[in-house]
Chain A
Amino acid sequence: ELVLRQSPGTLSLSPGERATLSCRASQSISSTNLAWYQQKPGQAPRLLISGTSIRATGIPDRFSGSGSGTDFTLTITRLEPEDFAVYYCQRYGTFGQGTKLEIK
């Protein structure tokens, strides 16, 4: 059974800084199926990245995804106030436990 482990659990940064979020799979997975989501309080999750690195429609280019095999990364350059949220990685029916990005 695939497990996705996200780190860190909480990331405290300031607007304008760079955020690096990690998603590690318990076994090697195809980069085609790794996705990232953003969820703000009281809202449904929103797709950010599919296929490891393909931004969804309307997602700003400060969001980027990379990785292969078991290690995947979501990078947010120049954090904006609206970027502080919880982020999840996912592959098929498995989600990571989430990383909370909070304002420092």
Chain B
Amino acid sequence: SQQGEEDPQALSIQEGENATMNCSYKTSINNLQWYRQNSGRGLVHLILIRSNEREKHSGRLRVTLDTSKKSSSLLITASRAADTASYFCATTRLNYNQGGKLIFGQGTELSVKP
């Protein structure tokens, strides 16, 4: 019952290049988050963007949100080998009945080659 789809499913770049990942979702949301997961491990929260925001920055990360298109993008600038991981978008619709659960996309597997 995942609601998000991510594109591309896999991305391979050289160190120093920028990486862009896209996420689309299906229903109205209150906010969208991006998480990173290193191979076989737990998820780490990267950045959150609220539905009334269009762009947000955090260090080398830039997130955009287009609620009219129900899509978001994550840009990682000046990538490093340590950025190699899977990246997931996750949406939440804060509602007592739903309890704030996260609905994840399928993820983009990023490989940064030194």
Physical interaction between A and B: no
Footprint of B on A, CB under 8 Å?
none
